[in-house]
């Protein structure tokens, strides 16, 4: 899962980030209610979002350099 995002395009990365953010919000609500099987999944989701943000930023920087 860690390296599966590298071959995605910029729009695909943004869509994937929004999907995971939505799942993360739902997961946070489940934590508050107390119906969570694996609480470490929260950390994994946060890291996936950060990884996607990094890849999106790398794409943006590459586009800026190509435009110059």
pLDDT digits 0-9 by tens, 41-56: 999 999 999 999 999 9
pTM of the model: 0.87
Structural domains of the chain ordered from first start: 10-67 (1.10.287)
Q: Out of 3-7, 8-12, 31-35, 43-47, which region has the weakest mean confidence (pLDDT)?
A: 3-7
Half-sphere exposure of 37 (CA within 13 A, CB side): 0
Three-state DSSP at 13 gives helix
Q: What is the pLDDT of residue 35?
A: 85
């Amino acid at each position: 899962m860690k390296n599966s995002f590298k071959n995605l395009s910029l729009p695909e990365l943004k869509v994937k980030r929004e999907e995971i953010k939505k799942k993360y919000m739902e997961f946070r609500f489940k934590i508050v209610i107390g119906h969570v099987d694996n609480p470490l999944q929260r950390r994994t989701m946060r890291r996936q979002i950060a990884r996607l943000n990094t890849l999106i930023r790398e794409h943006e920087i590459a586009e800026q350099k190509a435009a110059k």
